[in-house]
Each structure stands twice: as C-alpha cells, then as structure tokens.
C-alpha cells in the first residue's frame, strides 16, 4: 500500500513536470538531440510554479497522510 502511495506521488509529480514547457523542451532535446526553436509563447509560469510547489509540499503531505492514518489505526485499537 505504501509503495502504491509513493509511486502515485511520483507519477503526479511527473505529470506536472510534463506540463512545464521548459521541461518539455529539455526532454525533447534529450530524446531527439535537437534544440527546440525559440517561440514567443508564454513559458507556462503557472505550470512551473505548480510543479515546484508540488515538489516541495509532497513530502509534507505524504507524512501528514501517514501520520493521520496511524493515529486513526491507534484510535481504533484503543477502542477495542
């Protein structure tokens, strides 16, 4: 169960990373070996901020979920 939870956080992080245009350009350059052409589009600032915030907060969220689950399990064990 814990591995599924950890891998779901990792895949969510990769999903947000795939939406950041700068990271898409880097992956494209690694795969094809060609530098993508410069465009005048918005660099996807919101997607980049979301990815960074997810990266910083996901360990805290994971620890909070695990702590809450353990507290609930202990509470059920004390009731019996």
- pLDDT mean by block of 10 residues, the chain; 80 residues: 79 78 78 69 68 81 89 89
For residue 55, what pLDDT is reported? Answer: 79
Q: How far apart are CA 73 and CA 37, in angstroms?
A: 54
Phi, psi angles (nearest 5°) of residue 39: -120, 165
Other CB atoms closer than 10 Å to residue 62's CB: what's the count?
15
For residue 36, what pLDDT is reported? Answer: 65
For residue 39, what pLDDT is reported? Answer: 56
Cα separations (Å) of 6 from 42, 64, 70, 78? 32, 13, 16, 28
Q: How far apart are CA 79 and CA 74, in angstroms?
A: 9
For residue 16, what pLDDT is reported? Answer: 76
For residue 40, what pLDDT is reported? Answer: 54
């Amino acid at each position: 169960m814990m591995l599924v939870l950890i891998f779901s956080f990792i895949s969510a992080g990769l999903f947000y990373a795939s939406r950041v245009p700068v990271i898409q350009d880097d992956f494209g350059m690694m795969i094809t070996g060609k530098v993508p052409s410069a465009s005048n589009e918005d660099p996807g600032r919101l997607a980049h901020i979301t990815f960074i915030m997810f990266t910083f907060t996901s360990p805290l969220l994971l620890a909070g979920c695990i702590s809450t689950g353990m507290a609930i399990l202990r509470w059920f064990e004390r009731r019996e």
